[in-house]
Amino acid sequence: MRKSGLPGHVGIIMDGNGRWANIRGLPRVEGHRQGVHRSKDIIDAANKAGLEALTLYAFSIENWRRPDLEVYTLMQLLDMYLRTEIDFLFENGITFRVIGNRQRLSVGLNFLIEKAEELTSQNRGMYLNLAISYGGRDEILRTIRKMALEGYDMTKIEEHDFAVNLDTGQRDTVDLIIRTGGEQRLSNFLIWQAAYAEFYYTDTLWPDFTREEFYMAIHNYNQRERRFGTSAEKVSF
């Protein structure tokens, strides 16, 4: 793969864990477990490909409405991931960050998140954002409230002022969004950041999404002409 053709920031809506389990007559939790394993493989592939940033949609703010047992299981899997995989991220130079509404998370989970972020904060490789208790609309509202409390004159803010205060900070622009599982919608994911993103949809369920298909999505992106609202003649980058 030509590094010059890589998107700088890729977001992935990891859809299809439950259906993957149902097809096999397994509990939904097993689909989520397999999804966690798949995430590690794709994180490694993205890092080795040379991406600047990868954002994975792990748990939406709407997911809190799922059955209590499923929510509990998902939180336990996140807890397990933070305990077992952070050494892998650290050793591979990946900077880890959680984006989303952390007030909905437990004290214990917030402690593990902060510990993981601190451990990897000095790394200089790919940035990995894990979207937990995340919603694009919620992020925008939280950002407005935060800026107002910090004394910004809300009548004079510019796009850049707002963007750097989002959960994603300086890496506010997403170049490519991949969605597995066959659905073709954004589902409240990175609404501001995805304003000019390219999209890649696949019927492949997340636990079956291989690094080969990930590279195929990157190649597909590389073949596109990005115009950013202008004509092809005026695009010079």
Tokens at 202, concatenated: 């696949």
CA distances from 175 to 36, 120, 172, 221, 229 (A): 24, 24, 10, 9, 14
Tokens at 185, concatenated: 């919608």
Euclidean distance between CA atoms 39 and 41, whole angstroms: 5
Catalytic option among 15, 167, 172, 175: 15
Nearest to 128 by CA among 94, 173, 176, 170: 94
Segments in the chain forming alpha helices (H): 17-23, 28-49, 68-84, 86-91, 107-120, 136-149, 159-163, 211-222
Catalytic option among 17, 22, 47, 63: 63
Euclidean distance between CA atoms 56 and 42, whole angstroms: 10
15 assigned to active site? yes
Euclidean distance between CA atoms 95 and 74, whole angstroms: 23
Euclidean distance between CA atoms 41 and 56, whole angstroms: 13
Give the catalytic positions in this structure: 15, 63
